[in-house]
Every structure is written in structure tokens, then in C-alpha cells.
Structure 1
């Protein structure tokens, strides 16, 4: 057996970002113990990334896996950044292993962990994501999620049908944490990294306890952060849209001017109003294009946050539970 294969099967790290969701985490660990076979579960090493919670756990199950540690952060950085910090901490260790990323609320179902591991072992050179074959959210949420996927596809040219629930092979972990874009959005960062990935269909579960910390504003910001990591592709598409809009407006202005001097039935002043409106559209398209050029040039020249190199600034301590 090769070293890589040994690293894949020897142990499995499970990174779980958390903010005040200790009750849900406790229920999640219980569910893992109930649904995952002991032969698989005994290889689990849990890393809970505590995103500077204002509360602490009362008790946690101590027989779910091999070890459970809590990575305490100095400040609240948000869900996506907490994932990047947890992965960076593991990548900095002498040995790396297959790593599962999952949420603490139970919507990522524990019984699907073996399916991710099996898919990862079948394709050891790829990051495996859980594609949501069936969701349990409200119809309103599903409607806005469909809008988000459509807008993401139009602006970036990429399809995104998965979230954080994933399996990272050891051979890609250290490469991934050197991708600056995972700091803003983990799935989007993987897409931007051009590291090989694929998704498998898995059903989304329900929250085990408490209420989601995500409100409407948070969901919008989460969607924008995913789009922002593919900013260059987005900027090019918006730039092309502005050029097409300006070209159509120019043709329309020419047509209106010709009609104004050839057809006497046009209402006086109507042609001037249309030409002025279309000229404003062209001016706005030009200004947006100019702004996009400056944004892309600034983005390319500025230094970026590399999680693998700077994660230590955010880590307070590692607390071993068992």
C-alpha cells in the first residue's frame, strides 16, 4: 500500500465550524455514533472550529470517534473563514489525512460521511462535494436559491450545486489552503483553484436544534462572496454585456434620428427624449466598464490573504476534549 493510500485510510479528520451551536453539535455527535459503523467511526478525529462563540458547551459525547479537539479563535470571522482556518491548521501538521468538512447543525447528514469517503477513495485525486439531490427548506428559500444559482451561472459561467459538505483527499489539502479565495467562500474557492472536484447526489437533512443564524442579508452576502471569488470571469461577462448594451443603444439612436427626419408622424420631442435616454445608457455602460477595469487591475496587483501562511494570527488555542 502506498503512503497516500495509507494516509487516506489511517484516519479521517472532520472539520466542523461552529458559532454558539453547542446543543446541535452534541446531537450531531450522538447521531454520528448511532449511524456510522464503529469500524469507520473509530478513525474519526474531530476538529471543532469555535468561531469565538459567546457560550460554551456543557457536555459533549466522548465516545464518538478517536479524538475531539476545539480550535478556539480570537475573534468571530464567519462560517467560511472558520472553515479555511480549520483546514489550514490541519495542513500545517506533520501528516495530512482525508478531511471531511461539514456543518454543525445536522443538515449535513452523518450517514452520508461513509458515502463521501467511499467516493473519495474511488477518486483519490479529487475533492468530493455533496450535491443536494433533495432539500427540506421552504419554497421561498428554494425559489431564491434557484435565482442564486442562475445568477451565479450567468455571471461566472460556472454551475454551483453544492455547499460545504465535502471530502478533501490528503494530496490536495495543502494545495487548497494556499488558495486565497477559500477565505471568502470555500466552494467558490475550490472552483477558482482549478483543483479537480466532482459532486455526488446526497439528500440534505434538517436542523437538529436551535435556529439558523442565517438571515436574508446573510444569505445575500454569502451568495455575493461566492461570486466575488470568480471576480475576473464576472467582470469580463459584465464588460461584454456593457459593450453589447452600448452597441444596441447606438444602433437605436441612429434609427431614431433617421426616423425623426424621414417620418412626419413622430410626436415632436419624442425622438429627442429617446436619444437622450439611450445616450445616458451608453454613458453608464462606459462608466461601468471603466470601473470594472480598475477593479480587476487593483485585484491583480494587491497581495492576497493566504490561509496557510496567516491562519496562526486568528488561533487562540487548541483545546483537547478527549
Structure 2
């Protein structure tokens, strides 16, 4: 299906979470002006979610798209929560429009905005993510990112190959704003919400200015937040692993008892040592399973933060640039 002005919505919101990256976001807007086709560019309405930056912008490009506004937050809440607040603010508006989520540093390439829009036209009602087909980080970072994806799949049974760069259709925006899990991790929240989603392979760009704030510690925290979104599934998988360890330990004790009492192959001293080790494994597995049960029960009874209902508590003001 070809992208024609008639097949495009009248307005496309662009949520850009930002913390101190004013130079980069200025360059990003200029790049959007130069590389995004006019039929799409003229429909863009930018909402920069200022995550309580320590500095302010000196100047920002104007006349790009329909509008540019800055949503000022009272306090720093982090990248994922800033996205959730931006989505909740737009979901609270009288009219709903497709909404693109992209980073402020340029690593989400403006050239790919049209591809997200095109896929959304082809698959209406689906959240469209950018699957990273190529990355430009260091080898160490990419290696740990592969480990993160593998661990996420092992613990949750889900495959996550995408980040924040995405397009939320207008029909799904308010539903997504009521998903409490996007407060901790936006991609994981979409997976948890069971809203239909798809992904297209797109290359990750390079930072336009400044230095990346993502490091090993940030990646670990990001991974933990993604896993926490699916804590109940993770807990069940860990509990099943504990059950497996108990079964293996009991089987091991049975073999040791058989060797000790019915054969002459047991080694003096080793039987009691290994039996004690297996009993310790059984006790630890039981305690871990009990802890997981309490964690899941506690998670289920605690009131959840719903961005659509509580976002106003974090918003200081809306500042219109043009």
C-alpha cells in the first residue's frame, strides 16, 4: 500500500523524553526537517517531555511540523516514566492521534519515521516497534545486550528485540495509558498489555550530540525493570526451576542410598557429604519458592500506578514553543 496524503492521519504526535539533551534534540528536529517527507513532516506535532532537566535550552528550531510543546515535570522520574507521562498526557486530550515515541539523541533515526507510519497504515490497530537490525555501540555493550535479551526470554518466555522507538495507533493510546506496567518499562508494558504489536527491522542511528547515559549499570537496571513487568510469569518459571532442582536432588539422594546399602561401590564419607548437599539444595529451593509466592501475592494486592489517572501529579506546566 502506498503512503498517500489521503491515507495519513491529519496529525501525528511525537513524544520525545529528554534530560539535559537540548543540543541533541535541536539537531534531531533539524534532521527531521531535512529527511522526513513533507506529507508526513507537516503532520508532526512534537511533545518534548522535560524530565526536570538541570539546564534549559537556549534556542530550538521552529516551523517544523504543526507544533512543538514542552511538558515540564516537577521531578526527575527517569526515561521510561517520562514516556508514560507523555503518553498519558496525550491520551487525556479530547482528540486522539497516532503517537510516535522516539529518543532525543538521534539514535532513533528520523528517516525511519515514514516506515513506522507506513507499517501502521498497513496494520491498523497495531503498535509498531523498531526492531534493531544493526547497532553502533561497543562490542562489550552489544554482548551484554545479547545476554539481556537471552535472560529476558528465559525468565519470561517472551522475545524482546525492540526498544522505545515505536508508533502507537490512535485507537490504542488511551488503552495503553491505562496499562500500569508502562510506568516501569514501556516495551515490556506493551507486551504485558496484550495489545497487538508488530516490529520492523530498522538500523539504530548514532548520537547527534553529547555522550550516551546508557552504561552497564543502566542496562542492568533497564533489564530488571523489563523483567519486573512480567514478575508473575518470571516467578512461575523460577518456581518450576526450584521444583526441578528438588526432583533432581531427591533422585540424587535415592541413587546414593542405593549405592550405600545395596552395592559395594560407595566411597566412605562421600555419601553423607553429597546427601547433606542435596538436602541443602532442597531447603534452598523450598525457601526460594516460598519467597516467590509472597512476592507475587504482594504484587497482586498492591495498588498499581495507572499513568492515565495519576499523571497530573507530575506535570508542572505545558510550555508551547510554537
TM norm. shorter chain > 0.5: yes
The one-character-per-residue Cα deviations of 1:118-155 (angstroms, maximum 9, x if unpaired) are: 11111111000000111111111111111111111111
User: For 2:256, what is the secondary structure of its paired residue?
Assistant: helix
Cα deviation 1:98-129 (Å, max 9, x = unaligned): 10000001000001001100111111110000
Aligned residues: 318
Query: Contact (CA 8 Å) 1:130, 1:165: kept in 2 or not?
Result: yes
Instruction: Find out whether 1:200 has 2:209 as its counterpart.
Output: no
Please state how far the C-alpha of 1:8 moved relative to its aligned partner. 5.8
Where structure 2 has 5 or more consecutive residues not aligned to the other structure, the ranges are none
Q: CA RMSD in A?
A: 1.4
1:278, distance to aligned residue in structure 2 (A): 0.8
**Does the 8 Å CA contact 1:8/1:97 hold for their aligned counterparts?**
no
Any gaps of 5 or more consecutive residues in structure 1? none
Aligned pairs for 1:37-56 (under 5 A) are 37-56=37-56
Does 2:113 align with 1:129? no
Q: Encode CA deviations 1:152-202: one digit per residue, 9 max, x unaligned.
A: 111111100000000000000000000000000000000000000000111
Aligned 8 A contact 1:101 1:164 in 2: yes
Query: Helix, strand or coil for the counterpart of 1:118?
Result: helix
Q: Give the C-alpha shift of residue 38 in structure 1.
A: 2.0
Q: State the Cα distance separating 1:215 from its structure 2 match.
A: 2.2
Specify the alignment match of 1:185 in structure 2. Answer: 185
Deviation of 1:7 (Å): 11
Once residues 276 and 207 of structure 1 are traced to their aligned partners in structure 2, the CA distance between those partners, rounded to angstroms, is: 55
Tell me the equivalent position of 1:73. Answer: 73
Task: Report Cα offsets for 1:72-113 as digits up to 9, x if no partner.
Answer: 000000000000000000000000101000000100000100
Q: 1:73·1:315 contact (CA, 8 Å) conserved in 2?
A: yes
Contact kept? 2:259, 2:265, Cα under 8 Å = no
Show the 5 A alignment for 1:57-96: 57-96=57-96
Spell out the pairing of 1:201-240 with structure 2 (5 A cutoff): 201-240=201-240
Between stretches 36-45 and 226-235, larger displacement belongs to 36-45
Q: Displacement of 1:301 after TM fit?
A: 1.2
Q: Corresponding residue for 2:119?
A: 119
* Residues 70, 321 of structure 1: 8 Å contact kept: yes
Query: Residues 132, 39 of structure 1: CA spacing in aligned structure 2 closer, same or farther, 3 A cutoff?
Result: same
Q: Is the contact made by 1:7 and 1:96 (CA closer than 8 Å) also made in structure 2? A: no
Which residue is equivalent to 1:282?
282
1:29 match = 29
